[in-house]
Amino acid sequence: MGEWGMLLVIILIGAVIGGGTNIVAIRMLFRPYKPWFIGKFRVPFTPGLIPKRRGQIADNLGKLVEEHLVTPEGMQEKLEDGVLFEEVEARLKQGVKELLEEEMTLDEWMELHLGKKDQLLSFRNNIENSLHIKLLELFEEFKHRPFEDWVPGEWVEALEERFPKVSHQITFKAAEYVSSPEGREQIDQLLTNYLQSRGNVSSFFSRFSQRFSLADSIARELVKFLTEEDTKNLLTELLMKEWKQILATAPDQYITDEKLNAQLDAFTKAVIGRTPVVGEWSAPLSAWTGKYEDLLNKTVIPSVMASASMILSRYIKSIMKQIGIKDLVTKEVNMFPLARLEEMLIVIANKELKMIAVLGALIGAFVGMIQGILLIFVW
């Protein structure tokens, strides 16, 4: 082999050594993942640089993220821009719109999306039972006490003040009916039936009454009686007397425990059935939620977003401290698979790593050429 052939071989050997050394150095950043041992002796440069310093890298990366990247000041500035909350509000409104168009009931929707079955039905039953128990306890407290002991005095006074008006309405309506054709016909029929029920003598008076229109006379007298002031006063006194008797009695004189339970059960079901949302959620969402869309979009969601913005702005530092950005990043970096990290970095920096290997080969070839020249032509 000639001198030039020897020089070429030396250059190629230098290029292989230079390029190979760089490739090995790149691989040694990650590999081996774990230390190698010969007996109790740990092989030098094992594990690789990144696995060996993984804890320090994760800790420093966590500090970097917490102190310079994800800071309370940066988050505060982002919140003040309002862009984040505008996006969240828009998505909430879109979600509400889609929810209101569902053909399933609220219980079915919760079972499908949250895995909660019959939660609202149980909630409604609990409300009904609680209301029933409270009303029953209230009745038990007052059922042996006369009404006058616990009915508010202003209610009693207000009702008693209306008795004269009630009496006037009763007598007025009664006089109006008696003086009407229907009332006169009814009086005539009652009078005829009464006289006919009394036999032959009564039949004579029956024909006599028909001839001389006895019913008209009775009707006129009844109207006169009903329109007199004394009649109205008498009726008012009777109403007042009955009212005083009612006040002196207790509720348990009017209703038994069995009947009370049945009435309270029907009452609570009727009340809950007419309560907004609670009484409607057994129907499909699309059948009843439409009337709440404006309320949700114009009042509830903006109020929720405003409250959330205020709370986050006020407590952002405390919240981020509780989250522990540094610890979170450190933990995730320590748990991230090294093989996956190596693969990601090689894919990202593939061209640059190849150029490093080529550069090492070029440097090795150049060094080999210098050595070859000195060895062959100088020495």
| pLDDT in single tens digits along all 379 residues of the chain | 567 777 788 888 888 888 888 888 878 877 887 888 887 888 777 778 778 888 888 888 888 887 777 777 777 777 777 777 788 888 888 888 887 777 787 777 777 777 777 777 777 788 888 888 888 888 888 888 888 888 888 888 888 889 999 999 999 998 888 888 888 888 878 777 766 666 554 454 555 555 446 677 788 888 888 888 888 889 999 999 998 888 888 888 877 777 878 888 888 888 877 777 677 777 787 777 777 778 888 888 888 888 887 777 777 777 777 778 888 888 887 888 878 877 777 777 778 878 888 888 888 888 888 887 877 776 6
Q: Whole-angstrom Cα distance, residue 177 to residue 184?
A: 8
**In this structure, which amino acid lies at residue 104?**
M
Q: What would the pLDDT profile of 304-324 be if each residue is shown by its tens digit?
A: 888 887 777 777 777 777 778
Q: What would the pLDDT profile of 7-48 be if each residue is shown by its tens digit?
A: 788 888 888 888 888 888 878 877 887 888 887 888 777 778
Instruction: Say what the pTM is.
Output: 0.42
Each domain of the chain, given as residue ranges in start order, spans 3-80+324-378, 146-249
